[in-house]
Amino acid sequence: MNNVETKLRSCLKSVRERTDFVPEVAIILGSGLGNFANTIKVEFELPYNEIEGFPVSTVTGHDGRFIFGYVGDVKVVCMKGRVHYYEGYSMSDVVLPTRLMGLLGAQILFLSNAAGGTRMSFNPGDLMLIEDHICLAPNPLIGPNIDSLGTRFPSMSFAYDPELKAIVLAAARKVDVDLHRGVYCQFTGPTYETPAEVKMAITLGGDAVGMSTAVENIAAVHMGMRVCGVSCITNLAAGLTKQHLNHDEVKEAADKAANNFERLVTESVLNFRRVLK
């Protein structure tokens, strides 16, 4: 085993010493979206700092704990707060939580994030189904392959599972949530993108920009998890307005979207039941 695999197995052992809960769906909550955790029927909570060797979030709005429990009859593990590359962690640490949730048993990963919109038609608080991504951050699979997790050269042709996307779209219609569709572009952060970088993202086909998500998707797909994702549009990206961007604005827009986000994720997870093994 290489050092990354050794650390991952150590984290798995540490969690299993605390709980034998086997989740079916993993959920990562983005900035300002942590209130969804309050809708879960909680079985067990585990702060990240109680897991040996686990990276701990340092960003305001990321609580830093796993929530194990139920959405309806679906067993979930929810990350209330994630870690980011810009916090100084290695990319293997950034995706360690994703890999850990897969090893705990999760078959599906539901990603979420706060993102800047690159379409003038977007408004703060809008939700966007991630159809695909463009990763401008280092690929988390660089380095020795962990053969026990997946192949050296995984296909990303269906990085966001078509069946899951259809379920999320149907859920949006059922709960009357307006859900846009688009491509998400991950930069490294922690600076917000420059106007020129936003223009580049638009030219490449990006509809939203942010600092997470794509690398977690890659790690999950590598190990055979099925993935879907939703972005909360918190602002128009740099250069599209004359305003400066700030993190308080991100949290405010996420709060505005909270009710729609919670209803959408809940309905989606309930309907994942029909594709779970």
Task: Note if 155 is an active site residue.
Answer: no
Would you say 55 and 96 are in contact if contact means Cβ atoms under 8 Å apart?
yes
260 noted as active-site residue: no
What DSSP string describes 113-144? Answer: EEEEE-STT--TTEEEEEEEEEE-SPPTT-SS
**Residues 24, 45, 84, 197: which is the catalytic one?**
84
User: Does the active-site annotation cover 48?
Assistant: no
DSSP one-letter code for 211: S
Q: Active site residue: 86, 90, 156, 249, which one?
A: 86
Q: Which of 24, 62, 91, 254 is catalytic?
A: 62
Q: Which of 137, 201, 211, 253 is catalytic?
A: 211
Catalytic residue from among 235, 260, 268, 271: 235
| Residue 52 DSSP label | T
Query: Is 113 annotated in the active site?
Result: no
What are the residues whose beta carbons fall under 8 Å from the beta carbon of 216, sequence distance 6 or more? Answer: 28, 82, 94, 95, 98, 109, 111
The kind and range of the H/E element at 229 are strand 226-236
| The one catalytic residue among 35, 247, 249, 252 | 247
Phi-psi region of 267 (alpha: psi -120 to 50; beta: other; left: phi over 0): alpha
Query: Is 222 a residue of the active site?
Result: no
Active site residue 212: yes
101 in Cβ contact with 8 (< 8 Å): no
Active site residue 160: no
Active-site option among 31, 112, 260, 271:
31
114 is catalytic: yes
- Partners of 229 in the beta sheet? 111
Q: Choosing from 57, 112, 113, 212, which is the catalytic residue?
A: 212
Q: Which of 45, 87, 197, 216 is flagged as catalytic?
A: 87
Q: Which of 26, 79, 106, 114 is catalytic?
A: 114
What per-residue string of b and e applies to 239-255 under the rule 16 or more CB within 10 Å gives b? ebeeeebebebbbebbe
Active site amino acids: 31, 62, 84, 86-87, 114, 211-212, 235, 247
